[in-house]
Each structure stands twice: as C-alpha cells, then as structure tokens.
Structure 1
C-alpha cells in the first residue's frame, strides 16, 4: 500500500466549488478560499482584511447583519440566503451555511452560488403571480398593482410605472404610476421621452446617470437634480408594442444590472399577455352590460342599478323615480330616411338624456327606441315633475342630421318608489303601463285633430306622463 501523501489543509478548500470564508467578530474576512474568485469575482487577497458587509448588496445588508448577530449568539444558519455584488457589478445569490466558533471567536461559513436557481424560481413565480392576477377579479389598475408587487419583490422597484400607447390616437398615458416625481413638469417630460423611445424602438433600456445623456437632452436631465437609475422594457403583444414598464431607483447604491434587465424583459412578456386578457374580459363585460349603439346601460345593468338604488332609498327614506319612454313615429323615421338616420337619432337621444339628468342618475336603453331613466335621492314629489319636464323639453328640440331636420316627441311614463311599487319589476311594469296609457291618449288626441302645440302634461297623483307624437321633417 502506498503511503498517503500529505497536503497542506488549504489545498483541500481550494478544490471546493463552494467558497469557504472565515470572518472575525468585527466582521472582517480572515480567510477566503480560491472559489471566491469564481463566485464573487474577487481573488482571496482582495477580500481578506475587508469588511464582509461591504460586499453585500445594499438592499440585503440590514437583514444580513441581523442574521450575523443571531449566529454570534450561537444559532447556526445552514440555509441563509442573501445577495452579493460581484466585482463586475453583477448580483449573485448566495446560500450560506454558517456557524460561530466560540473557541476561535470567528464565524465560519460556506458560500454556494445559487443565482441560476433563484433566477429560474423568480421567473416561474412571476409567471404564476401575473397569470393569477390576470384571471383575478378587478380592473386594469388592480392588475397593475399586483404586477408592481411582483416587480418590487424581484427588483426592489418601489418606483414603478406602466405606460400604455394607443397607436390609433398616437396617445401615451400612464394608467399606473408609483414614483417620487410629484407633479414636476420636467420629471413628467423625462418619463414621457424615455417611455416613447422604448415603445418606438422596442428595445429594453438600462440607464444610469452616465448613460442617460445618450437618450435624453442635457436640459431635461439637468432639470431633475437627483441621479436616477432606470430600467424600461416594452410591453410587446403579438400585434405590436402596447406600452412600457418603467422602474427607477434613486442614488448610486440602487443601480440595476444586466440580470435585472433580462428579468424585466421576461416579466414584460407576461404582462403583455395579462393586459390583453384583462382588456378582453373588460370588453366582454362591457358588451354584456352596455348597449353597443348608444353605450348606455342595457336592461341587465339598469335593473341591477335599480335594485341597488331601491335598497338605498329604503334605508334613507327617500323617493326614487323610474321614467319609461319611447319615441313616437320612430318607425316612420327608419322607413323614410333609413336605419342609419334612425341610429343617429337613437344616439343623439341617448346623449341628450344623459345630459338632462344628474350624474348620480342612470339612463338606459332596453331595446328599440325604448329608454329608461332612474332618478335617485329625490326629496319631494314635485321634483319628479320637474325632472320629467326637463327630459321632455330636451328631447323635443329638433334633430338635424346632414340636411334632414326631424321633430320627434317622446311618450313618457313614470313610476315612483314607494308609491307605485316596492321592487324593480313592479316599478318597471308601472312605468311601462303609464307610458302606453299616454301613447294611447295621444292617439285619441291626434284622431280628434289636436295640434302638437296643444299636447298636455298629464298628472294623476302617483303617475305622470307627457307625450306628443308628431313627426316633422324638412329637407
């Protein structure tokens, strides 16, 4: 048997892929094995004698020092993870196995580079989180808040913005913005210029105080005094670039790296898919609740708002009115001038109705030329007549489309809560019946030869209705 040759102990540690480190009580490196150059980018003699904390990523220093105290107090840490800044400026994720030697008064630790594993895990977690947010209830702003949480966890991006670009309107908007700029015009201009460049070029930008002059005029940069580090990635969808994600970090200690740039690029792809899905769901929801011609609430949404309003009226002991109306001789408009003119008329009626009531009220179209108005928080019965008079006078003004002038009068029926019904179906039925009663009354008037200017306002206590059914046209 051959004798086993004797090797100096340091040679064994230099063969390890993990780095072995020894740190004294004050936090200075006493020994670092050869693997440090592969992991940290520094040779051992560049680290020995230096404070350990100087190599730790600034965002992880407080947590690292807290863990060091726990180790010195006798608590081993076999799986502690933090980030170090390599000599080349890149971040490296380290998993430490460390313990304190009371006899030698030193901390002995083994460092393993887990950057690739952490990066893969981070990307997978980002995919899950963004996908979950895209399918969760809520609007785009809710989605952007969740995306901000994801980006902040990965990149410490407290200052985060989403820019969306409408190619047809050539309009850039910022639907979500969490940044320290306030209302400074110069800061807004800087953000807009950077976002516009990324959207038009499709390239992700990693900007530092040194490279900002390459993309921004000096006058714009000088208007904002604090040095800024930027990371901006385009939101790229299959049919083009929809916007950009922007994150900033103030001060030299918060610089982003090429790894961060790659990560934000990856996230932006997931964000693009999430935005498209959320927008598609919003469109479907809108189509299910709104009339496509007039953009007014349809029957389903109107009844839902009426139901909610009835609950409030019951609690607050207030009146509520439902007006049901249709346009007399509307069929004649379609037959005489075509459906395009009829559609124009319906759109204009919807616009006038919306402007004739309060913002708290609801105007809906429930089919054909039939509209409904929900007036809420009414204190006195006499106010209901005023609302109806305003609706009537607004809709009775002549309509002019190209060279066609139309004089259209509505028939209006009204139901009052609690006088004419206790729920939505009873109120709608009462108002509908009142409207048809007025329409029938008008037909009798027309047969009797009563002229439009002689049309009446009918009132019988709980039910009011106004109508006139004449169609005039001029070419």
Structure 2
C-alpha cells in the first residue's frame, strides 16, 4: 500500500483515487478527495465509504460492489454522495477488485456540474410541459412545486403574485408544513414586497442577509423560518410575483447555490404562469358572459347534454327555467345602458341565490337567462325554484340610488315529459316563457304549444 501512497503524482490528478477494504473501509484517498467530497484524507481514512453514500443510492451501489468483488471491472457507474457541507456530489466511478491485496481500487470523477446542468435543462423542459398540460393555475403550481423540489429542498414553498390592477400581493399557492395556508389570500410579508419592489433576490440566513439591503421590521421576523429565500418572477411586463422557499432548520439551510438554481428557473416559471393566465382569460371569454360572469349558451348546452346523459342512465329528471325580464327595454331607454347593464348583473346575482351550487344559471344574451336544474325524481322541483325566483324579484332593485321594480316571465321544461334532447327542451321552455309574457308577465308557464302552433293560453303555475 505504501508504494501507491508514495506516488505524489496521484495527488496532482483532478479525479480522486480511493482504496477501500472489502467492507468499504477507507485505506487511502488522494488529495482530490477533499475537493470532490469536502473531507481531508485524514478525516476519512478508517471510515466506511458507504456511510457517506446518498441513502437513495445504497441498494444500487451495493449491487455494483458485489459485481466488482466477483471480479468484474466496473466502468462508468454513477451514484451520489453527501459532501461534508451537506451538498450532493455526483460521482462517475471506475473500479476494480485487487484480489492479491484484498482491496478495491477506484477512481472518482466529479460530474456534479454536468448533472446540475442536465437537471436545470430538464427542469426548464418540465416547466414548459407543465404550462401546456396543467388544467388550471392551481395544477400548474403543484407541477412547479414538484419540479423545484427536484432541484432544492422545497417542503415549504409559496407562489406570491402581484395583482396588476392594484399592485396587491396575493398567495396564489402555499404549501408549508409549519404554517397553515393564510385565511385571506393577501400577502402582507414585507420581504415579498421588497423582492417585487427591487426586482432582486433575497436570501436570509441565521447569520446574514444576502441581496437587497433594506432591513426587515422585527415584527416580520418573529416566528419565521431560519432560512428565507425569495426570487422575483420576471417577465417582459415586469416582476409579476415571487417564488418563496422557507426552511425551519431540519430540512437544511439554503445557500447561494440554491439561490442560483431558483433564479435559473424563475424566468421560465414566470413565462409558464403568464401563459396559463392568458389561457384562462381566453377560456373565460369563450365560455362566460363578460357582463354577468355567468356561463354562456355554449357552456349551458354542454352542461345540459351531460345532465341529460346522466338522467337517461339513472332514470332521473332534468328541468329548465327560461327567464326573460318584463319590459327591460324601458330601463335602457329611461336610465341608460349603463344602468341596464348594472340591472343585468344584479339579476344574475338574484338568480344564483335561488339555486344550488350544482345548478347552472346561464345568460343567453340580452335579458334572457336559463336555469338548468338536475331535479332527481321530483317533478315539482322546477316549480319550487320558479316560485323562489318570483319571490326574489318581488323586492325592488337598487341601481345606485334609483329604485326599480323588475319582474320576470318564466317558462319551464321537464325531461323527459317535454322533450328528449337539449334543443327540444330549450325550445319548449322558450315558448312557455312567451306564453307567460303574453299574459302579462311576472308568472310561470310550462305548457308550451308545439313549435308550429301559435302561442295561446294554458295552465298557469303562479301569478
């Protein structure tokens, strides 16, 4: 063994030469071992090499050791070790068993930088993929949380976004094992505000503050994490928010390396968030009425088709209420279109207050609304809801000081009695509504004539 250790040229190698016994106890390491693993040769001689191995790589590594002990020459085997400073070192090994000396001779090549680059590039790709695959922003944030968790410890992770209309910071995503999600979405953490204001990363450790220099008020530091890392989310429109990581001690602290990793992916994260926000805005515009925020005709028909399929399968009922405002034109003519729009918004609110969260209130256009009810097996359900609507409209509307009485004409349709498909049901409810309107309005009708017949009197549910 002394002839190997006496060759000082080994200490000039960038790779670490290691000699270990069969039980992985270290006999000799070259000088490069300290650069790669963080320990001096004096600190590790006599220790087991496997004790420094990353826990997740134990089984695979011991399998490779068994192969080497059987006489195989091991080339290009990768695993991970925990450095003295707690960071992970990625190692590419060449090793063989020397039976005459009963030791393993191995050369450790540090590929940490290469693996970090590969991991970063993979993270960028994964974030881009998540922006396309995620169904909504919440799902996107969950994906991003998982991706960042593969780069750094991200047990306690938050996304804080800036509201472009008023500049207020709000929690868009919050996962913290030590602190419950805020009861209100508004973020009052001055550190987040500082990161957004300065567009600079802020790393706070127990010993130092790295980044911007303004002090954090003592009140903000009370009961806070030992390590706090906030990275601005920059886009072409400016800083849209902050990625926040917190460590309370047991997860390990954050370093400048973690800061660099988070900064590396933050621009891609900001792009993904803006892309998903734009998609959701376009989806909202395509599916919901811009004035009342109610579902539009397209969404109503889609939900009606689903409800009918469920009703056919389960033998249940589906009801429609077609609601039209009586003499709405008078409001626009006398008070102006702005007051007319406000009235439609108030009407939407009252209609929603008459139904369950599982029901649908949609605006077809103008002053026409449709209520979709899955009525179970109760034929009277539509009539009951219609009575609630009439009662709700009995109270006048306050339009910024102008008190206005407005009443509805309501037509109903019931599946399967009044039609077997969406078009037939909607047509029946529409014709029934016109019967209600022809008889003076403020009532409910369900006895529509056939589409080819003129509307005429029928049985009135209520007046």
TM score, norm. by length of structure 1: 0.81
- Counterpart residue number, 2:113: 116
- Counterpart residue number, 2:455: none
Q: Which moved more, 1:13-22 or 1:168-177?
A: 168-177
In the aligned structure 2, how far is the partner of 1:328 from the partner of 1:172?
A: 44
User: Structure 1: any 5+ residue segments left out of the alignment?
Assistant: 1-6, 443-451, 469-475
- Counterpart residue number, 1:302: 300
Q: Which moved more, 1:324-333 or 1:343-352?
A: 324-333
The Cα offsets for residues 405-443 of structure 1, whole Å up to 9 and x where unpaired, read as: 32222221111111101111110011111112222333x
Structure 1 residues 45 and 441: alpha-carbon distance in aligned structure 2, compared to 1, 3 A threshold: same
The Cα offsets for residues 262-302 of structure 1, whole Å up to 9 and x where unpaired, read as: 01111111111100001110111111100000000000001
Residue 357 of structure 1 and its aligned partner are, at CA, apart by: 1.6
- Counterpart residue number, 1:265: 263
In the aligned structure 2, how far is the partner of 1:54 from the partner of 1:232?
A: 34
Task: Determine if the alignment matches structure 1 residue 348 to structure 2 residue 346.
Answer: yes
The Cα offsets for residues 220-265 of structure 1, whole Å up to 9 and x where unpaired, read as: 76747xx744433222233233322233445467333322210111
8 Å contact kept, 1:190–1:221: no
- Counterpart residue number, 2:172: 175
Residue 381 of structure 1 aligns to a residue whose secondary structure is: coil
8 Å contact kept, 2:410–2:445: no
- Counterpart residue number, 1:427: 425
- Counterpart residue number, 1:412: 410
User: Of 272, 276, 282, which aligns to 1:278?
Assistant: 276
In the aligned structure 1, how far is the partner of 2:295 from the partner of 2:443?
A: 30
Structure 1 residues 395 and 77: alpha-carbon distance in aligned structure 2, compared to 1, 3 A threshold: farther
Residue 206 of structure 1 and its aligned partner are, at CA, apart by: 3.4
8 Å contact kept, 2:33–2:40: yes
User: Of 232, 238, 259, which aligns to 1:240?
Assistant: 238
User: Of 336, 339, 355, which aligns to 1:338?
Assistant: 336
The Cα offsets for residues 87-120 of structure 1, whole Å up to 9 and x where unpaired, read as: 6776543222223334323222111122221122
8 Å contact kept, 2:230–2:245: yes
8 Å contact kept, 2:169–2:187: no
Counting only pairs closer than 5 Å after superposition, residues 122-161 of structure 1 correspond to structure 2 as 122-161=119-158
Aligned residues, how many?
A: 444
In the aligned structure 2, how far is the partner of 1:167 from the partner of 1:134?
A: 21
Q: Aligned Cα RMSD in Å? A: 3.5
In the aligned structure 2, how far is the partner of 1:102 from the partner of 1:90?
A: 34
Structure 1 residues 134 and 190: alpha-carbon distance in aligned structure 2, compared to 1, 3 A threshold: closer
8 Å contact kept, 1:409–1:467: no
User: Of 201, 204, 211, which aligns to 1:204?
Assistant: 201
In the aligned structure 1, how far is the partner of 2:289 from the partner of 2:186?
A: 39
Structure 1 residues 401 and 253: alpha-carbon distance in aligned structure 2, compared to 1, 3 A threshold: closer
Structure 1 residues 82 and 198: alpha-carbon distance in aligned structure 2, compared to 1, 3 A threshold: farther
In the aligned structure 2, how far is the partner of 1:467 from the partner of 1:340?
A: 32
In the aligned structure 2, how far is the partner of 1:191 from the partner of 1:211?
A: 23
User: Of 7, 10, 14, which aligns to 1:13?
Assistant: 10
TM score, norm. by length of structure 2: 0.83
User: Structure 2: any 5+ residue segments left out of the alignment?
Assistant: 450-457
